[in-house]
């Protein structure tokens, strides 16, 4: 297994499924009050350049529940000292680094310069932790075999979509991006996804075409963190892509509604959809905790995920 958790594309499909199985097991242990202190005495530094509710709380809580400790740092990388120097300091004190940054290259550089694991907790390019929790949620609602499922991602081809594209290039699942022209995502990522996809990988501008037969309709904010000055322009461009009852009506009747949160209600999603019976966005938020605990336990212990999973099985 690779040292860091930067991109789902760095892992094999089997390794990603192993993370998900471990996440299910850790969720079961947590829910039934069974101790699982796999990281006793281990420490994690959390670097946040951007705001966060879910990621910040679940990484801190996850380390606590695993018997470890986390140290929170609100800082901007590359300002006071170089990124390699930050990496060379942190590796002397802690067992792992979690970083949420603007520039993706900064997380990559941290990982290259530190001997300890680095976890990507969102960059302008990727958000892999989110997709692990999303897929854990999808499996809970639609079953473990994702190969016949269709996920329609409606809106901006952004960091969250990029990580979905990377997932689809490793694990069988059908993924469609439904977006306005000019918002199809990073061509390097979508080209690779189109080439390596294990199921159908489609990009369309037509909601009726893109949402047809969808088992899950996913959306995210129209302007991500760092794009605030484009908010007004994007509101006009993305308006036809608001996920409301009419748009949900184009998908399967039992299609799930998914959102990574935070949601801008009345913009990318209407209140009736996000608060409706098919919305699983708070399940996704809950699973951030369990999915990230699987990543933390696997990377900070230095064991292979599958070994960890079988070790836990013996505690039943």
What is the set of active-site residues? Answer: 100, 127, 130, 220, 260, 288
Smallest distance, ligand CP to C-beta of residue 89, A: 25
- Pick from 55, 70, 137, 292: which binds ligand CP (CB under 6 A)? 55
Q: In this structure, how many other beta carbons lie within 10 angstroms of the beta carbon of residue 157?
A: 23
DSSP lists the bridge partners of residue 177 as 153, 203
As a residue count, the chain comes to 316
Smallest distance, ligand NVA to C-beta of residue 123, A: 9
* Chain centre to alpha carbon of residue 42: 23
Note whether 110 binds ligand CP by CB under 6 A.
Answer: no
**Interface positions, 218-277, toward ligand CP (CB under 6 A):** 260-262
What is the residue whose two structure tokens read 């018997």? 67
- Is residue 170 within 8 A of residue 16, CB to CB? The reply is yes
Spell out the alpha helix ranges (H) of the chain. Answer: 13-31, 54-65, 83-93, 104-113, 128-142, 159-168, 187-196, 207-211, 231-238, 245-248, 271-274, 281-301, 305-313
- Pick from 13, 43, 52, 202: which binds ligand CP (CB under 6 A)? 52
Nearest Cα to 141, choosing from 287, 263, 26, 270?
287
Q: Rounded to the nearest 5°, which phi and psi values hold at 67?
A: 90, 5
User: Which of ligand NVA, ligand CP, none has residue 190 at its interface (CB below 5 to 8 Å by kind)?
Assistant: none
**Interface positions, 202-241, toward ligand NVA (CB under 6 A):** 220-221, 224-225
Stretch that binds ligand NVA, among 5-13, 104-112, 155-163, 234-242 (CB under 6 A): 155-163
Note whether 189 binds ligand NVA by CB under 6 A.
Answer: no
**Torsion-angle region of residue 51: left (phi > 0), alpha (psi -120 to 50) or beta?**
beta
* Tokens, residue 39: 């990281």
Note whether 58 binds ligand NVA by CB under 6 A.
Answer: no
Note whether 120 binds ligand CP by CB under 6 A.
Answer: no
Note whether 107 binds ligand NVA by CB under 6 A.
Answer: no
What is the residue whose two structure tokens read 């594209």? 165
Note whether 260 binds ligand NVA by CB under 6 A.
Answer: yes
Note whether 53 binds ligand CP by CB under 6 A.
Answer: yes
Stretch that binds ligand NVA, among 70-78, 157-165, 173-181, 196-204 (CB under 6 A): 157-165
Note whether 282 binds ligand CP by CB under 6 A.
Answer: no
User: Which of ligand CP, ligand NVA, none has residue 109 at its interface (CB below 5 to 8 Å by kind)?
Assistant: none
Note whether 54 binds ligand CP by CB under 6 A.
Answer: yes
* Tokens, residue 178: 């439904």
* Tokens, residue 287: 């699973």
Give CA–CA dist 37/249, Å, rounded: 45
Binding site for ligand NVA (CB under 6 A): 122, 158-160, 220-221, 224-225, 260
């Amino acid at each position: 297994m690779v040292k860091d958790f930067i991109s789902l594309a760095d892992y094999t499909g089997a390794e990603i499924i192993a993370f998900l199985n471990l996440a299910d097991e850790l969720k079961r242990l947590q829910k039934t009050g069974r101790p699982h202190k796999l990281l006793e005495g281990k420490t994690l530094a959390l670097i946040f350049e951007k705001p966060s509710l879910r990621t910040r709380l679940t990484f801190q809580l996850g380390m606590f529940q695993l018997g470890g400790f986390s140290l929170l740092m609100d800082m901007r990388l590359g300002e006071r000292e170089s990124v390699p120097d930050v990496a060379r300091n942190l590796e002397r004190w802690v067992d792992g680094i979690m970083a949420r940054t603007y520039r993706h290259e900064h997380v990559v550089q941290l990982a290259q310069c530190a001997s300890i694991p680095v976890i990507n907790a969102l960059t302008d390019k990727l958000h892999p932790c989110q997709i692990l929790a999303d897929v854990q949620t999808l499996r809970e609602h639609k079953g473990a075999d994702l190969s016949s499922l269709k996920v329609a991602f409606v809106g901006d081809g952004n960091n969250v979509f990029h990580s979905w594209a990377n997932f689809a290039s490793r694990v069988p699942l059908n993924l469609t991006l439904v977006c306005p022209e000019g918002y199809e995502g990073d061509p390097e990522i979508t080209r690779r996804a189109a080439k390596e996809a294990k199921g159908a990988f489609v990009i369309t501008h037509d909601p009726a075409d893109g949402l047809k037969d969808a088992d899950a309709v996913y959306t995210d904010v129209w302007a991500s963190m760092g794009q605030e000055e484009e908010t007004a322009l994007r509101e006009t461009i993305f308006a036809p892509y608001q996920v409301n009852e009419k748009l949900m009506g184009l998908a399967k009747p039992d299609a799930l509604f998914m959102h990574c949160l935070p949601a801008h209600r009345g913009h990318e999603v209407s209140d009736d959809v996000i608060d409706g019976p098919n919305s699983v966005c708070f399940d996704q938020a809950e699973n951030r905790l369990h999915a990230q605990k699987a990543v933390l336990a696997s990377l900070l212990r230095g064991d292979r995920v599958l070994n960890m999973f079988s070790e836990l099985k013996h505690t039943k």
